[in-house]
């Protein structure tokens, strides 16, 4: 599969699709991979025409199918940044055949600057956090240009992560530790689809994919957890197993030494199981925790119907396309491509390209399985809170695999104190001289770990994907 140069300005519908060689598919995994990618794009396209529309307005005029117009004036079936970034990520995996974070950022930049893999040929919709990260990345590339004595952007973009990791001053992670928009979750699918044969690796690299543009542990862990669900769906687990409160416990080995953060753990334990949906607090906002909860609510309550779930996700309102795209990744992986209405697929822009990319993910993922293995030390060392000067810890290679590196000067106890100080309700002033009251806060933290997740909600992230 060959992808055009961004400077050729070839629209996705005009990219030549070359079929992947056939591989045995005893358990219908290929159809599930297609379903996940098509589900993402279908959800995106269904929600595109009503993006930012409030729930109350959609109650009066609910979306029931593909439609044109809306915020971006798109044709029915055209998709937005969610699918464009998902295809950029997939194209990186297919082209490099490895997880190359630098190449991924290069392709996101191509989309942002040149409209690479955009349904309109230009970037018309981008979240604030993603835009900031890509602007930082473009500036940091000047470090590489100087270090390698390169003359133009094309040469710098052609570097691999194996090359750039040798430059100590360059960091491929271009976000701070407080950025928790839903951008990394909307584009996620191809990482767990590619690496599903190695669940622990799929979970680890899904978290790494988030850190490139969204550095919050909430964004990282939301992607790790959702990747585990997608992997489990591909591996044939039942819906009851996927939505079980025991899912995280039963698959704990997939997550390495780093536990899920409290906000994501609360969702894993079933916070999304609210029959009243919107009336009970489910929201399709740009904050990744709320987006994850909304997508899982739609999956849990869809009555085993992709149509029901994706429309429910859209009609929550606000970040309609992203909520539905996130739902579509998991629902498509579980129900398969055949569950998506044929009339929607007929209208879906560049459907054949998406199917072709899905098939290549399946093909190269099968090949990579025999050579790529997760190392026992591939886990996050990221504490709950990092001092500003320790933000954006570098990713570096460790025996051919990826490892995030945080300065050793960050002490676990100090980070835990920061966590208590920043997150517990009405915390007292915290200082080293008050260490004697730390056990009291430990007990409060234990008591509030799950039932009081509302104290962790931070609505200022809304809309900053």
The response to whether 320 counts as a known ligand-binding position is: no
When pLDDT is averaged across residues 434-448 and rounded to a whole number, the result is: 43
Residue 129: per-residue pLDDT: 96
Where on the phi/psi map is residue 426: left (φ > 0), alpha (ψ -120 to 50), or beta? left
Q: 417-420 long-range CB contacts below 8 Å, 24 or more apart?
A: 418/384, 418/385, 419/384, 419/385, 419/445, 420/444, 420/445
pTM of the model: 0.81
More confident residue, 144 or 416: 144
pLDDT digits (tens, 9 = 90+) for 3-16: 999 999 999 999 99
Q: Is 163 labelled as part of a ligand binding site?
A: no
Q: Binding residue per annotation — 178?
A: no
Mean pLDDT of 118-137: 97
* Ordered alpha helix ranges (H), 149-277: 153-157, 161-164, 183-186, 190-195, 199-211, 217-234, 239-242, 247-250, 262-268
Q: Please tell me whether 322 is known to bind a ligand.
A: yes
- Residues 36-82 pLDDT 10s: 999 999 999 999 999 999 999 999 999 999 999 988 999 999 999 99
Q: Of 321, 329, 392, 455, which Cα lies nearest the Cα of 179?
A: 392
- Whole-number pLDDT of residue 464: 57
The CATH superfamily of 6-389 is ADP-ribosylation/Crystallin J1 (1.10.4080.10)
Q: Is 118 in contact with 9 (CB distance < 8 Å)?
A: no
Distance CA 194, CA 346 (A): 26
Q: Is the pLDDT of residue 225 over 60?
A: yes
Per-residue pLDDT band for 450 (boundaries 50, 70, 90) equals very low
**Average pLDDT of every residue of the chain:** 84
Q: Which residues on adjacent β-strands are paired with residue 396?
A: 403
Task: Tell me the mean pLDDT in the region 171-182.
Answer: 96
- Residue 83 marked ligand-binding: no
95 is in an annotated binding site: no
Q: How confident is the model at residue 445 (pLDDT cuts 50, 70, 90)?
A: very low
* pLDDT given at position 358: 98
């Amino acid at each position: 599969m060959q992808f055009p140069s961004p400077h050729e300005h070839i629209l996705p519908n005009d990219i030549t699709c070359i079929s992947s060689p056939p591989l045995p598919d005893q358990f219908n995994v290929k159809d599930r991979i297609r379903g996940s990618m098509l589900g993402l794009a279908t959800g995106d396209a269904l929600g595109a025409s009503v993006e930012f529309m409030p729930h109350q307005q959609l109650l009066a005029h609910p979306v029931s199918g593909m439609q044109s117009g809306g915020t971006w004036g798109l044709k029915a079936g055209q998709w937005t940044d969610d699918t464009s970034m998902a295809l950029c990520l997939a194209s990186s995996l297919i082209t490099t055949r490895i997880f190359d974070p630098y190449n991924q950022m290069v392709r996101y930049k191509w989309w942002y600057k040149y409209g690479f893999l955009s349904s309109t040929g230009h970037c018309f919709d981008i979240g604030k956090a993603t835009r900031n990260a890509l602007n930082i990345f473009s500036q940091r590339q000047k470090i590489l240009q100087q270090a390698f004595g390169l003359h133009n952007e094309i040469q710098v973009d052609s570097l691999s992560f194996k090359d750039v990791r040798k430059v100590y001053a360059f960091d491929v992670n271009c976000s701070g530790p407080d950025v928790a928009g839903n951008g990394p979750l909307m584009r996620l699918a191809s990482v767990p689809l590619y690496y599903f044969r190695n669940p622990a690796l799929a979970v680890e690299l899904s978290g790494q994919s988030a850190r490139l543009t969204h550095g919050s542990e909430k964004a990282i862990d939301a992607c790790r957890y959702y990747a585990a669900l997608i992997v489990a769906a591909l591996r044939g687990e039942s819906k009851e197993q996927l939505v079980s409160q025991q899912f995280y416990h039963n698959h704990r080995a997939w997550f390495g030494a780093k536990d899920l953060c409290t906000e994501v753990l609360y969702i894993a334990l079933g916070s999304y199981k609210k029959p009243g949906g919107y009336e009970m607090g489910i929201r399709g906002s740009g904050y990744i925790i709320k987006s994850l909860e909304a997508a899982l609510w739609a999956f849990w309550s869809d009555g085993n119907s992709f149509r029901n779930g994706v429309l429910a996700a859209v009609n929550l309102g606000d970040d309609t396309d992203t909520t539905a795209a996130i739902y579509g990744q998991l629902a498509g992986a579980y129900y398969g491509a055949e569950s998506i209405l044929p009339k929607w697929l007929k209208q879906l822009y560049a459907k054949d390209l998406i199917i072709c990319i899905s098939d290549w993910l399946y093909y190269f993922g099968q090949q990579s399985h025999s050579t790529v293995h997760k190392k026992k030390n591939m886990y996050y060392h990221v504490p709950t809170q990092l001092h500003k000067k320790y933000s954006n810890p570098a990713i570096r290679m460790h025996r051919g695999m990826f490892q995030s590196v945080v300065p050793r000067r960050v002490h676990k106890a100090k980070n835990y104190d920061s966590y208590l100080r920043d997150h517990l309700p009405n915390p007292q002033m915290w200082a080293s001289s008050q260490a004697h009251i730390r056990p009291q806060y430990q007990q409060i933290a234990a008591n509030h770990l799950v039932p009081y997740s509302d104290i962790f909600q931070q609505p200022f992230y809304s809309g900053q994907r």
